A and B are shown apart, each in its own frame.
Chain A
Amino acid sequence: AQSVTQPDIHITVSEGASLELRCNYSYGATPYLFWYVQSPGQGLQLLLKYFSGDTLVQGIKGFEAEFKRSQSSFNLRKPSVHWSDAAEYFCAVGAGSGSARQLTFGSGTQLTVLP
Chain B
Amino acid sequence: DIQMTQSPSTLSASVGDRVTITCRASQSISRWLAWYQQKPGKAPRLLIYKASTLESEVPSRFSGSGSGTEFTLTISSLHPDDFASYYCQQYNSYSPYTFGQGTNLEIK
Q: Do A and B bind each other?
A: no
